[in-house]
Structure 1
Amino acid sequence: MWDDDRDGRREHEGLARALDESGTPDGRVWNGHAWQEWDSWGETGLVTFDLHPGEPTALRAECQCVWHGEARAVDGDPASTAAAVKADWEQHIATVTAAMYPVDVADEMADLMSRLYALTQEQPLAALTALRELEQKIEPLRVATVAHSRHLSLSWQKVADALGVTRQSAWEKYQFAGTGADVDAAYAKAAPPAS
């Protein structure tokens, strides 16, 4: 199995799954040296297959996140085919982790949400004020970040994927990003607080 452990996360594990002549996963994986029976993802329990007799005819990369790559024919040496499907998985990892933020940021966001929830219970009006101010800071920062992403020549599709919206929606809302006074104003509003 292949692991991706960026920033302390273990969200993606991959393997080279054996396929039979019909393209059906047959319950074996190539472990780098030999075929090994592996009928399910042990940690998720999401995928189980019946074991099939005979030699696998193809391999594909699979990830614990349920992504899988294209089938690649086994040409005598499963190790060379496994190297190709591992490259498919590594491309998948590069794509999905491009927008992954560091664990310390996730921890700080979780801490902020916990504090805001507690404030909601104790002082609801103060919590509403804090949420309003947070919203006023987020959108300008988002505009500045889209502008910077476009300045780095990232596609509208990649920006949209990171925002969790369609490409068209991202373009319609942020097409001005990267030009003129609107971005300058967004940077000014999004500036970090003085220490």
Structure 2
Amino acid sequence: MNRRKTLALLLTAAALPGCAALTVRRDDESFSARDYRLATDDRVRLIVFGQDSLSNIYMVDGSGAITVPLIGAVTVEGLTTTQAAERVADRLGSGFIREPRVTVEIDTYRPFYIMGEVTRGGQYDYVAGMSVENAIAIAGGFTPRAVRSSVTVSRKIGDETDRFNAPIDYTLRPGDTVIVRERWF
């Protein structure tokens, strides 16, 4: 009997350091399209008033830029849509169009990813306001061995990746990776 207790205690102690590294957190910042920062795989609708040939939908490429006729590649990664519009207007205004009026809108957010103990892990389209529970449903639901109370969310913030435990009702953001853990008992 003592061996079982000792083994259970050792297993519990071994699992604790892994739990301490991740913190459970709630939405500390509300997600809004106005404050959204563009990144690779976002699709934006660029509207240049009076210039229908320039108005189009552009994909943010791997280098964080969109390629616009006349002005070429414009780096928009890390910018809000308002800042991206100003950057494009500045480039167009420097010798191509007099007083350009430019608007940038999100056409399609970058995808989210889900893996681990779900039926069909992979990459899926992000929908504004999506919760972890919605993401799991899109991926076909939990497998029988899944931890159902919380998941690990991996989020890139600038050049760093933040990993944290999140409850099932946590609101995801574009580009998040959801990891559904396996339960042992």
TM-score range, shorter chain: under 0.3
Q: Which has the higher strand share?
A: 2
TM-score (norm 1): 0.24
TM-score (norm 2): 0.25
When Rg is computed on C-alpha atoms for both structures, the one with the higher figure is 1
Q: Which has the higher helix share?
A: 1
